């Protein structure tokens, strides 16, 4: 099974079961594991958002997420819209990138620059900022997923992502925890999500069946 699709299905199951157990408490979307927003990559994502705002002051950015090609979340920006489901956004972003890569192979085109879905009121944008070499695991593509309204100047955002791409790669390469997450096979993803869940709910939720 494609890893991004697996991640999407599993996290969706996780979120549904969590909502059932905390119905009416609005816990799912307002609590985020600290490991996802208290790290150096988050600081870089915040710089991308800040510099964009300073240059244009136009449009609304719902959130920025750094992920790998299989939808494993590396970091989110600290101003990420808490009404958004960050698990699903990462999974959809990785799936979009995967489809775009398949199109690249089908059309025999050169390297993929970015992929975008445009809705009537917002845009989902995925850009590869390069890859990380992992010992015994090969290369992992590192992606930035961006969700905005239709007023955001994507050209300026692309310039900011390109500007900070090397910094993000260097920070990942220096962080053993992040590299271990990127190395995880599908069978370890469930345990990883359970650990993140414990950070959010402090062991008050039962085991996912």
How do residues 30-44 score in pLDDT, each as one tens digit? 467 788 888 999 999
Q: Which domain holds residue 166?
A: 3-201
Number of domains in the chain: 1
207 lies in some domain: no
198 pLDDT exceeds 80? no
Give the integer Cα–Cα distance in Å for 3 and 185. Answer: 9
13-2-162 Cα angle (round to 5): 100
Q: Is residue 209 part of a domain?
A: no
Q: What is the CATH number of the domain that holds 173?
A: 3.30.450.30
What is the pTM assigned to this prediction?
Answer: 0.76
Q: Is residue 22 assigned to a domain?
A: yes
Displacement of CA 132 from its chain's centroid (Å): 16
Question: pLDDT tens digit string along 94-132?
Answer: 999 989 888 888 888 887 778 899 999 999 999 999 888
Tell me if 182 is assigned to some domain.
yes
In a domain, 141, yes or no: yes
161 within some domain: yes
* Structural domain includes residue 175: yes
Per-residue model confidence (pLDDT) at position 199 = 57
């Amino acid at each position: 099974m494609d890893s991004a699709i697996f991640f999407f299905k599993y996290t969706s199951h996780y979120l549904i079961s969590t909502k059932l157990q905390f119905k009416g408490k609005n816990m799912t979307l307002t609590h985020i594991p600290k490991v996802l927003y208290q790290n150096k990559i988050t600081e870089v994502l915040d710089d991308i958002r800040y510099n964009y705002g300073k240059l244009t002051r136009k449009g609304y950015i719902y959130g920025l997420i750094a992920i790998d090609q299989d939808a494993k979340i590396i970091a989110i920006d600290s101003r990420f819209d808490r009404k958004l489901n960050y698990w699903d956004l990462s999974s959809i972003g990785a799936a979009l990138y995967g489809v775009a890569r398949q199109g690249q192979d089908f059309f025999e085109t050169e390297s993929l620059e970015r992929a975008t879905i445009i809705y009537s009121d917002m845009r989902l944008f995925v850009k590869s900022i390069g890859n990380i070499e992992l010992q015994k695991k090969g290369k992992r593509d590192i992606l930035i997923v961006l969700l905005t309204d239709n007023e955001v100047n994507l050209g300026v955002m692309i310039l900011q992502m390109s500007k900070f791409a090397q910094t993000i790669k260097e920070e990942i390469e220096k962080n053993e925890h992040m590299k271990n997450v990127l190395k995880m096979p599908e069978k370890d993803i469930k345990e990883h999500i359970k650990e993140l869940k414990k950070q959010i709910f402090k062991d008050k939720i039962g085991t996912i069946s």
